[in-house]
């Protein structure tokens, strides 16, 4: 009877929502533990099922919604850190609409792709874009009501609901606005667009090979922004009001290449006018000072004279939490330079402390932790202990030449003492 009814309506597919089996709910719970975006799963399943059957099958999804409700309750009570960013909840749906409209256009032509997190400032052009998209949707619904309700709207709903978690709308946490989150929603945008188009006439079907060609062209358009760290960061810093983290990371990459002055220019061009980014302005000011010192260091200025300036910025102060954010991004570039300045100033113990700090900052990277702790111990003239750390570092990276040289030197000094 159900199949007959579906055939009358033109729908031949059975219900796609899986039966309530505990393993599915367990899989969703594991997905939520890995990435909050999994909160969109039951809504997407419901919309896809409605698209295929023209009915809502709620019962098989009760378990999924129960898991989701438990996750939301847990994230807002026990995990207090996720509940403290609800300040702009009224703005987030508007930002979500803006993203949906922008991502729809970027699905077909990736203009100004930003891989990292830009500051989102709603401009008059954004409201015009939102208005035009809503007007076009209303016109389509009025003109093709059945096709809109059963085909296009479910796909657009899927696109919107997949973006909702990262917009902070479903999980009520920080909003992660970055174009890389448009990938999965773009699939549903493409499906909606395909459902609007009429079937290809028989005489043109031999030209369907054009579809993969068009997809390859679209991929080629994306390549400049995603082909390696350098182009990716360059794209992240080439759009208006780019994010401070992207600017600092790009400055660090350039500094590692010996181009600290270019990195400094990237930081200076980072927008700081938005009143909502006051703390980011302080963060960028600190980064400015550090990378300005790095530029002078790379230009050959006397390291001994730079040591007090490095120490003044890197010493604990009221902005220590912001400083740690800079250090987390640029630690491997800035702290070795600071230690070199300490050695030039005749302060080996201060340099040893800097290297020990660097080692403790990377507990999850065995090579980095062991190598810099070995350097710290060598500066403290504890060669016997340094040998153990260099051996650990060499075990993690057997072909690393600096580690081999340091290990040989430490063994020679240790044997001489014995």
H helices of 345-400, in order, are 348-360, 366-379, 383-396
* pLDDT over 90, % of the chain: 18
Higher pLDDT pick, 197 / 305: 305
* Averaged confidence pLDDT in the chain: 77
Predicted local confidence at residue 71, as pLDDT: 84
Q: How far is CA 283 from the centre of its chain?
A: 19
Reply yes or no on whether the pLDDT at 329 is more than 60: no
Predicted local confidence at residue 87, as pLDDT: 43
pLDDT 10s digits, 251-303: 878 888 888 888 888 877 775 555 555 556 777 777 788 888 888 888 889 99
Query: Average pLDDT in the 296-311 region?
Result: 90
Predicted local confidence at residue 292, as pLDDT: 87
Higher pLDDT pick, 417 / 339: 339
Predicted local confidence at residue 18, as pLDDT: 64
Higher pLDDT pick, 312 / 392: 392
Reply yes or no on whether the pLDDT at 115 is more than 70: no
Predicted local confidence at residue 41, as pLDDT: 87
Predicted local confidence at residue 367, as pLDDT: 92
Predicted local confidence at residue 73, as pLDDT: 80
Reply yes or no on whether the pLDDT at 112 is more than 50: yes
Reply yes or no on whether the pLDDT at 350 is more than 60: yes
Reply yes or no on whether the pLDDT at 316 is more than 70: no
Reply yes or no on whether the pLDDT at 106 is more than 70: yes
pLDDT 10s digits, 175-197: 566 677 777 788 888 888 888 87
Query: Average pLDDT in the 112-117 region?
Result: 66
Predicted confidence band at 80 (pLDDT cuts at 50, 70, 90)?
very low
CA angle 395, 397, 399 (to 5 degrees): 110
| Among 392, 390, 388, 332, residue whose Cα is nearest residue 358 | 332
Query: Average pLDDT in the 289-318 region?
Result: 84
Predicted local confidence at residue 392, as pLDDT: 93
Residue 356 is encoded by which pair of tokens?
């020990």
For residue 413, give the 3-state DSSP assignment.
Answer: helix
pLDDT 10s digits, 25-53: 888 889 888 877 788 888 888 888 888 88
> Are 394 and 384 in contact, with CB atoms under 8 Å apart?
no
Reply yes or no on whether the pLDDT at 69 is more than 90: no
Range of lowest pLDDT (102-116, 190-204, 232-246, 389-403): 232-246
Predicted local confidence at residue 375, as pLDDT: 94
Taking the C-alpha atoms of residue 46 and residue 158, their distance in angstroms, rounded to an integer, is 9
Cα→Cα distances 329→251, 326, 341, 386, Å: 10, 5, 20, 27
Q: Note the pTM of the prediction, 2 decimals.
A: 0.59
> Are 281 and 319 in contact, with CB atoms under 8 Å apart?
no
Reply yes or no on whether the pLDDT at 378 is more than 50: yes
For residue 88, give the 3-state DSSP assignment.
Answer: coil
Predicted confidence band at 83 (pLDDT cuts at 50, 70, 90)?
very low
Helices (H) and strands (E) in the chain, counts: 20, 0
Predicted local confidence at residue 117, as pLDDT: 63
């Amino acid at each position: 009877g159900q199949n007959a009814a579906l055939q009358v309506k033109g729908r031949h597919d059975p219900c796609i929502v899986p039966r309530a089996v505990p393993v599915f709910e367990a899989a969703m719970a594991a997905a939520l533990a890995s990435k909050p975006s999994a909160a969109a799963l039951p809504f997407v399943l419901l919309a896809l099922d409605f698209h295929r059957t023209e009915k809502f099958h709620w019962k098989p999804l009760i378990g999924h919604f129960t898991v989701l409700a438990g996750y939301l309750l847990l994230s807002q009570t026990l995990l207090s850190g996720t509940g403290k960013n609800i300040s702009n909840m009224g703005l987030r749906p508007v930002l979500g609409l803006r993203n949906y409209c922008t991502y729809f256009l970027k699905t077909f032509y990736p203009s100004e792709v930003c891989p990292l997190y830009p500051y989102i400032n709603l401009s008059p052009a954004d409201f015009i874009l939102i208005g035009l998209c809503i007007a076009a949707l209303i016109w389509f619904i009025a003109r093709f009501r059945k096709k809109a309700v059963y085909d296009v709207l479910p796909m657009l709903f899927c696109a919107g609901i997949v973006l909702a978690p990262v917009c902070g709308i479903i999980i009520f946490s920080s909003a992660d606005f970055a174009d890389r989150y448009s990938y999965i929603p773009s699939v549903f945008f493409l499906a909606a667009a395909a459902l609007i188009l009429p079937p290809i006439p028989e005489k043109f079907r031999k030209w369907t090979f054009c579809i993969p060609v068009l997809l390859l062209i679209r991929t080629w358009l994306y390549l400049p922004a995603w082909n390696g760290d350098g182009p990716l960061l360059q794209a992240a810093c080439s759009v208006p009001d780019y994010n401070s983290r992207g600017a600092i990371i790009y400055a660090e990459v350039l500094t590692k290449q010996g181009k600290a002055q270019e990195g400094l220019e990237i930081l200076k061009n980072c927008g700081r006018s938005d009143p909502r980014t006051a703390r980011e302005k302080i963060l960028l000011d600190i980064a400015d000072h550090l990378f300005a010192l790095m530029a002078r260091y790379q230009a050959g200025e006397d390291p001994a004279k730079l040591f007090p300036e490095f120490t003044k910025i890197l010493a604990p102060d009221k902005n220590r939490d912001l400083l740690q954010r800079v250090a987390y991004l640029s630690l491997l570039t800035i702290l070795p330079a600071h230690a070199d300045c300490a050695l030039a100033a005749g302060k080996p113990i201060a340099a040893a402390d800097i290297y020990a700090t660097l080692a403790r900052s990377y507990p999850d990277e065995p090579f980095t932790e062991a190598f810099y702790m070995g350097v710290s111990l060598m500066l403290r003239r504890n060669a016997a202990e340094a040998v153990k750390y260099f051996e650990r570092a060499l075990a993690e990276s057997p072909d690393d030449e600096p580690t081999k040289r340091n290990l040989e030197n430490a063994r020679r000094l240790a044997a001489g003492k014995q």
